[in-house]
Amino acid sequence: MSAPPSGAALQVIAPDWPAPPAVRAAFTLRRGGVSAAPFDSLNVGAHVGDAGAAVTENRRRVRAQLRLPAEPLWLEQVHGIEVAALEAGCGRASAPHRPADAAIARRPGSVCVMQVADCMPVLFAARDGCAVAAAHAGWRGLAAGVLEATLARLGVAPAGLIAWLGPAIGPAHFEVGGEVRAAFLAHDAAAAAAFTANARGRWQCDLSALARRRLTAAGVTAVFGGGWCTYSDPLRFFSYRRAGQCGRMAALIWLT
């Protein structure tokens, strides 16, 4: 396994939000790892066909650069609404082998992480620093209620939370069928505003707008982030829609 080329340092996006001092969060970009194409280079996904040794090294680099207190809980994400509760200091969930698409932590020593390559990661922090959470919000999870399930499991009053929307595929490139639109309108007719008809008889879908609507309806009004498009920025982001086979980025949050 060769070292990354000169200048290819591990890069992250640090959320710009008013989180309390005890909260740390980051979103990894695709540079700074050791994986070969098409996973080049900082792929953290062990399920995409990349060499296992490369993924292990990439995850080690993430842990070292971010000075994580423990190995993150790398969930089996299935576009559902199950929420894993982490145990402090051990990097395990209360039921470590079940699939889950969200994770919560209430004490220092546990790292919540979501792997994405177009789906939207949503991070949560309690204003008083008592808890954090991360959710995997692709359209299926959003429509099924993964954000609401995460909030219910957190048990913090919505007014006491802030949320951050990470990079995801933007509406200019996220074309969906009528069944996707119908799934959201069945829950909220006004969600129609997040869909724009295109010339192919299909719809351009705005994941960020849908996530904000869900959060607002749940009472979380302090929402930050959004605006990045994974599809249109291949230098920084992996995108499944753009490339098919590709790596995964990580959205991480933990308490110090």
Average pLDDT over the chain, rounded to an integer: 93
In this structure, which amino acid lies at residue 61? R
Note the pLDDT of residue 20.
97
Q: What is the torsional sign of CA 225, 227, 228, 231?
A: positive
Note the pLDDT of residue 242.
96
Note the pLDDT of residue 1.
33
Question: Cα 96–153–126 angle (5° rounding)?
Answer: 110
Note the pLDDT of residue 9.
87
Helices and strands (H, E) in the chain, number of each type = 6, 14
Q: 95 - beta bridge partners? A: none
Q: Which long-range contacts (CB under 8 A, 24 or more apart) does 232-238 make?
A: 232/170, 232/172, 232/173, 235/30, 235/31, 236/11, 236/29, 236/30, 236/31, 237/29, 237/30, 237/117, 237/167, 238/30, 238/43, 238/117
Question: Cα 242–139–196 angle (5° rounding)?
Answer: 75
Note the pLDDT of residue 112.
97
Note the pLDDT of residue 52.
97
211 and 137 in contact (C-beta within 8 Å)? yes
d(CA 129, CA 21): 8
Note the pLDDT of residue 4.
39
Q: What's the pTM value of the predicted model, to 2 decimals? A: 0.93
CATH number of 18-171+224-255: 3.60.140.10
**Residue ranges of the chain whose pLDDT lies below 50:** 1-7, 88-91, 93-96
